Amino acid sequence: MKRPVTLCGALALLAVATPLSAGAQERDGRTDGPEESEYGKGGYGDNRRGVSLQFDWGAAINSQPNPAGAPDGPPLFVGATVSLWGDDWYRLDASGAYVFDGGRFIGNVGPTFRTWGWPVSFTFGIKAGAIVIPEGEGLRFALSPQIGAEMLLGRRDRVLMGLHYSPDIPIGGGGVTNRLFMNIGYRF
């Protein structure tokens, strides 16, 4: 006799508790956990996607001497990169750089992959594009593999800082340009 009463009591408790718990899961429900966490129904939007703009600078050393008449300058370069983030672990980069020693312009596009880690992530990318070598060498197709490390800083991880190495390899001659550089940017 005790079992049917226990079963009826459990079913009655379940019938009362189900509508109460469903009401707590509405969009206007509470958010458990610390500020800016993703626990609960409230939370924050997905900030892993977006666009970032970076300023690049550093050393650039050409493996071959510059052609006659090419500008002589310090072994430095400056550039910029625009990135379209698909998620925290990959993005599509479009970058351009000007190398002062030899007057080369490097423009390339390609994916970059990031490891898991906070605040430091390691990166690997492969890019392809063009290198303009002045004074008779002309335009060359180029491959530019890239390795490095990056940090996302600031409130909501919007400031991006990194240290990278990239050999720019022109297909068809012209010598490799080895770039060791830093960047700083902002992720929108």
**Tens digits of per-residue pLDDT, 143-154?**
999 999 999 888
Strand pairing partners for 144?
127
Domain 50-187 annotated CATH 1.10.510.10: no
Question: Does residue 11 have a pLDDT over 80?
Answer: no
Asked whether the predicted pLDDT for residue 40 surpasses 60, the reply is no
What's the pLDDT tens digit per position in 54-107? 999 999 998 887 766 777 888 899 999 999 998 888 999 999 999 998 888 999
Which value, to the nearest 10 degrees, does the dihedral of the CA atoms of residues 167, 145, 166, 175 take?
10
**pTM of structure:** 0.70
Domain boundaries, the chain: 1-45, 50-187
Residue-wise pLDDT tens digits, 104-163: 899 999 999 999 877 889 999 999 999 988 876 788 899 999 999 999 888 777 899 999
Do the Cβ atoms of 111 and 82 come closer than 8 Å?
Answer: no
- Compute the distance between CA of residue 89 and CA of residue 148 in angstroms, rounded to an integer: 14
Q: Are 108 and 135 in contact (CB under 8 A)?
A: no
Which of 7-11, 85-89, 139-143, 165-169 is predicted least confidently?
7-11
DSSP string, the chain: -HHHHHHHHHHHHHHHHHHHHHHHTSTTS---SSTT---SSS-----SSEEEEEEEEEEEEESSPPPTTPPP--SEEEEEEEEEEEETTEEEEEEEEEETTTTEEEEEEEEEEE-S-SSEEEEEEEEEEEEEETTTTEEEEEEEEEEEEEEEETTTT-EEEEEEEEEEEETTSS--EEEEEEEEEEE-
